[in-house]
C-alpha cells in the first residue's frame, strides 16, 4: 500500500478511548511480532482496559486514525525520577507496518512531546532496541540522548507470586 503525503493529510490524531482498546491490542501484538517476542505479551484485554480507563488509570494514549482505522499509537504514563522529577515515559510508539515511513510516527511523537511540555514535565524518556536501526535513526533526528550501559531488569508475575 502506498500511503504518501496525500493520504497523510487525512490522518487525525486523537486521545484513545475505552472502545479503542481491542485495536490498540492488535497494534501491540504487531509490535511484539516485529520485536521477535510475540509470546511476551501476557496482558489480557480486561487488564489493559482497566489500566487505561479503570479506577486507577495508569496510561494514556494518542492515536493516529485514517478514516475509521487506528493506524498508530503513542502510549505513555508518568514516571517519577528521584533525580529529575516527573517525566513522561513513552511506553510504545507504534505505526502499523503498511503506514511506516509516511510521517505518522513523527505526528505521534511530536504530539507526545507537546503533552510533556504542556504538563510541565522535566523530560521524556523511552527505550529503543539496539538492533532497531530505523527507530534509532528516527530518534536521532530529534537529537535524543540514546544511552548505553543500562540493562533492563524485571520480575515476572510468576516470580512475584513465588517470592518468599
> pLDDT value at position 157?
86
Is 111 part of any domain?
Answer: yes
Residue 147 lies in a domain: no
Reported as a pLDDT band with limits 50, 70 and 90, residue 150 is confident
Residue 9 binned pLDDT confidence (cut-offs 50, 70, 90): low
Which pLDDT tens digit goes with each residue over 11-24? 999 999 999 999 99
Q: What is the mean pLDDT of the chain?
A: 93
Q: Nearest to residue 106, comparing CAs of 79, 135, 128?
A: 135
Model pTM? 0.90
Phi-psi region for residue 25, left (φ > 0), alpha (ψ -120 to 50) or beta? alpha
Number of domains making up the chain = 1
What range does the domain containing 80 cover? 5-129
Does some domain include residue 49?
A: yes
Q: Is residue 123 part of a domain?
A: yes
* pLDDT tens per residue, range 28-65: 999 999 999 999 999 999 999 999 999 999 999 999 99
Is 157 a member of any domain?
no
Contact 27, 70 (CB under 8 A): yes
B/e letters for 93-127, b = 16+ CB within 10 Å, e = fewer, are bbbbeebbebbbbebbbebbeebbeeeebeebbbe
CATH number of the domain that 21 lies in?
3.40.630.30
Q: What's the pLDDT score for residue 145? A: 93
Distance of CA 3 to the CA centre of its chain: 21
Is residue 164 in some structural domain?
A: no
- Specify if 162 maps to a domain: no
Amino acid at each position: 500500500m502506498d500511503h504518501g503525503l496525500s493520504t497523510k493529510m487525512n490522518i487525525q490524531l486523537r486521545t484513545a478511548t475505552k472502545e479503542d482498546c481491542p485495536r490498540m491490542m492488535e497494534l501491540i501484538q504487531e509490535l511484539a511480532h516485529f520485536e521477535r517476542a510475540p509470546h511476551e505479551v501476557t496482558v489480557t484485554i480486561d487488564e489493559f482496559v482497566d489500566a487505561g480507563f479503570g479506577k486507577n488509570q495508569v496510561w494514556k494514549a494518542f492515536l493516529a486514525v485514517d478514516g475509521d482505522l487506528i493506524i498508530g499509537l503513542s502510549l505513555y504514563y508518568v514516571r517519577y525520577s528521584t533525580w529529575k522529577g516527573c517525566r513522561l515515559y513513552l511506553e510504545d510508539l507504534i505505526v502499523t507496518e503498511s503506514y511506516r515511513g509516511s510521517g505518522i510516527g513523527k505526528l505521534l511523537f511530536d504530539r507526545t512531546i507537546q503533552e510533556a511540555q504542556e504538563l510541565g514535565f522535566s523530560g521524556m524518556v523511552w527505550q529503543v532496541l539496539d538492533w532497531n536501526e530505523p527507530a534509532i535513526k528516527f530518534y536521532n533526528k530529534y537529537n535524543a540522548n540514546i544511552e548505553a550501559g543500562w540493562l533492563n531488569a524485571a520480575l515476572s508475575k510468576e516470580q512475584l507470586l513465588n517470592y518468599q
